[in-house]
């Protein structure tokens, strides 16, 4: 596979030379990076090690290919070339952008090779292009897996020229996504210090997740069913010129139908020129700054704050005193809270997943009625309380998401302290960890969700919200007491083992059944209120039992 990528680089040698890159150095750097990928544990959004990644990578390509095959059938049924190809390019941009943000941001900002590369006579431009090319090698494979089915259908319907044009525009789409994301990062580097850069980028990755997902959803909402199936093209709006998939859809329309006018020519011009303009900006304006900032990440020293022993208690200390019962629980509560706030890689693993979980119910609510005003859609939702129950239990799975990751850390070898310390009952540590997760993550989501539910369905659904959250907490406690547990930050970052997988699947399956039973019980007056009191008593009892969990229920590496 590496030899294949290197041959592609040699085919593109004239382009790299025009960019002012030292081609021999670029090939050497990219080749070593690809070899290192096969030797070290690199983790992706599914938390699989690189030793497993060859099979996983090809499986991902296969899934992308099958998804594109299924979606390509719509080209046969659509009479609007602009609409269907705008949707296709929106889907491709979304998939590539999500992969870039979740999997490869750490590669772009990796400073581990600074000690080897920076002292060498390698110019800034070559270093930056080598980093981007390294990522493009993987994203190119994903882009081809998505593009080939659409190319085949396009060639069958509209000829070879249209298929080749689709491939070229797909490559431009890939270049645009990669270099736009880099420009976002590079602009951030201009306005922040090295010591805060990684924290800001973590936050910005979440914003990008919402932006790209919202843009993907926006294009789907712009093209209604009549436009897609009957060829009724909508009037061109000014903001169409701000949406790249629409440029590309119009460009395909120009190539297939040979219809030229000023507007379509402008769309074609944007499609063919903007990606290269972005490449020019990165290559000529930002490359020097990028390498300086990456180098500064390793030498920037944080200003240590001298603790003031006479200062008042902070927020974390106050909350730990309220929500914990023992000194061990209190210490674990503060420890987990602070580590989850400071560990950038933990936030990079968790926050994108939380973004998906929180934004998906919003999109799901919006799919109920695509026609009518926003007020009419809200009125329709009020007629169906079942959707509110689904949203409650979907948001409740935040607890499962974080619990599955809280035991994993890059510094897992420091967990020997757990065995060295005189800890009689590790259940107190597990209980303190769970309480920290509930207060820091689940409680704010519950408060936010209560406001949303009150606006849409009224305050009558608040007792269902409390009942649902108590159900999720009790289910998690029951599974934790009955199965083996892992202490906070005590295991290597890896794919969930068999026990965790069984626990997670059991959690999801039982939650779905309980959600359905919950919906049925809503039809009987006062039942939810009575059961909520029982759930609260059960939660207090289970927390007491969880605190008493012994070492026989704990797995250590």
* pTM (two decimals): 0.60
Higher-pLDDT residue of 94 and 290 is 94
pLDDT per residue as tens digits for the range 161-201: 999 999 999 999 988 888 887 777 777 666 665 556 666 66
pLDDT per residue as tens digits for the range 404-432: 788 888 778 888 888 888 888 888 999 99
Q: Report in angstroms the alpha-carbon separations of 210 from 111, 203, 222, 360, 403.
A: 27, 11, 18, 10, 23
Write b or e for each residue in 441-480: b if 16 or more Cβ atoms lie within 10 A of its Cβ, otherwise e.
Answer: bbeebbeebbebbeebbeeebeebbbbbbbbbbbbbbbbb
Q: What is the 3-state secondary structure (H, E, C) of 296-356?
A: HHHHCCCCCCCCCCCCCCCHHHHHHHHHCCCHHHHHHHHHHHHHHHHCHHHHHHHHHHHHH
> Would the pLDDT of 486 be above 80?
yes
DSSP for residue 489: T
Answer whether 330's CB lies under 8 Å from 321's CB.
yes
Give the pLDDT score at 213: 55
Helix (H) or strand (E) holding 44: none
Residue 408 backbone phi and psi in degrees, to 5 = -100, 140
| Most confident segment among 6-15, 94-103, 390-399 | 6-15
Helix, strand, coil fractions of the chain, as percent rounded to 5: 80, 0, 20
Residue identified by tokens 């949203």 is: 391
Percent of the chain with pLDDT over 70: 71
Helix (H) or strand (E) holding 437: helix 427-437
Rounded to a whole number of angstroms, the distance between the first and last alpha carbons of the chain is: 34
**DSSP-assigned states of every residue in 178-232:** HHHHHHHHHHHHHTS-HHHHHHHHHHHHHHHHHHHHHHHHHHHHHS-HHHHHH--
DSSP for residue 22: -
pLDDT per residue as tens digits for the range 98-113: 777 666 656 666 666 6
What average pLDDT score do residues 332-358 get? 79
> Would the pLDDT of 475 be above 80?
yes
Higher-pLDDT residue of 336 and 407 is 336
Give the pLDDT score at 333: 93
Answer whether 508's CB lies under 8 Å from 357's CB.
no
Spans of all domains in the chain: 2-299, 323-555
351 C-beta neighbours (distance < 10 Å), count: 15
401 C-beta neighbours (distance < 10 Å), count: 17
What average pLDDT score do residues 436-442 get? 91
């Amino acid at each position: 596979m590496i030899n294949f990528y290197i041959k592609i680089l040699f085919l593109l040698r004239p382009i790299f030379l025009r960019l002012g890159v030292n081609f021999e150095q670029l090939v050497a750097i990219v080749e070593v990076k690809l070899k290192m990928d096969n030797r070290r544990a690199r983790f992706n959004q599914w938390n699989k090690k690189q030793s497993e990644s060859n099979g996983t990578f090809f499986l991902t390509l296969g899934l992308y290919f099958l998804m594109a095959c299924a979606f390509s059938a719509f080209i046969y049924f659509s009479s609007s070339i602009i609409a269907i190809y705008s949707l296709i390019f929106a889907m491709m941009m979304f998939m590539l952008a999500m992969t870039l943000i979740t999997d490869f941001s750490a590669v772009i900002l990796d400073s581990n090779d600074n000690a080897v590369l920076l002292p060498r006579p390698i110019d800034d431009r070559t270093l930056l292009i080598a980093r981007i090319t390294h990522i493009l090698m993987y994203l190119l494979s994903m882009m081809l897996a998505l593009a080939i089915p659409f190319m085949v259908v396009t060639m069958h319907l509209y000829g070879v020229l249209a298929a080749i044009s689709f491939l070229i525009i797909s490559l431009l789409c890939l270049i645009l996504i990669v270099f736009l994301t880099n420009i976002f990062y590079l602009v951030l580097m201009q306005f922040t210090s090295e010591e805060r850069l990684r924290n800001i980028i973590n936050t910005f990755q979440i914003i990008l997740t919402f932006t790209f997902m919202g843009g993907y959803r926006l294009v789907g909402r712009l093209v209604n069913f009549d436009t897609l199936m009957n060829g009724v093209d909508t009037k061109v709006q000014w903001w169409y010129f701000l949406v790249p998939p629409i440029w590309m859809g119009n460009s395909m329309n120009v190539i297939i139908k040979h219809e030229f006018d000023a507007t379509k020519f402008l769309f074609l011009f944007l499609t063919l020129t903007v990606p290269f303009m972005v490449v020019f900006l990165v290559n000529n304006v930002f490359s020097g700054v990028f390498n300086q900032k990456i180098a500064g990440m390793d030498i920037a020293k944080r200003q240590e704050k001298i603790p003031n022993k006479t200062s008042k208690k902070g927020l974390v200390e106050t909350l730990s005193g309220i929500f914990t019962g023992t000194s061990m629980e209190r210490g674990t509560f503060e420890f987990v809270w602070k580590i989850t706030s400071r560990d950038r890689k933990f936030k990079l693993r968790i926050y994108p997943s939380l973004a998906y979980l929180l934004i998906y119910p919003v999109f799901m609510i919006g799919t109920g009625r695509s026609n009518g005003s926003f007020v009419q859609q809200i009125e329709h939702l009020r007629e169906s309380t079942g959707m509110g129950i689904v949203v409650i239990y979907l948001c409740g799975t935040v607890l499962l998401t974080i619990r599955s990751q809280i035991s994993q850390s890059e510094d897992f070898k420091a967990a020997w302290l757990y065995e060295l310390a005189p800890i009689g009952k590790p259940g107190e540590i597990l209980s303190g960890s769970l309480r920290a997760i509930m207060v820091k993550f689940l409680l704010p989501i519950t408060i936010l969700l209560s406001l949303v539910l009150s606006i849409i369905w009224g305050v009558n659904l608040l007792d269902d919200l409390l009942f649902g959250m108590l159900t999720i907490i009790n289910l998690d406690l029951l599974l934790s007491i009955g199965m083996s547990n892992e202490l906070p930050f005590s295991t290597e970052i890896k794919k969930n083992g068999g026990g965790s997988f069984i626990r997670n699947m059991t959690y999801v399956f039982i939650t779905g059944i309980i959600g359905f039973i919950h919906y049925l019980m809503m039809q009987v007056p006062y039942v939810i209120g009575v059961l909520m009191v029982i759930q609260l008593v059960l939660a207090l009892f289970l927390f007491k039992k969880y605190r008493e969990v012994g070492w026989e229920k704990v797995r250590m590496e």
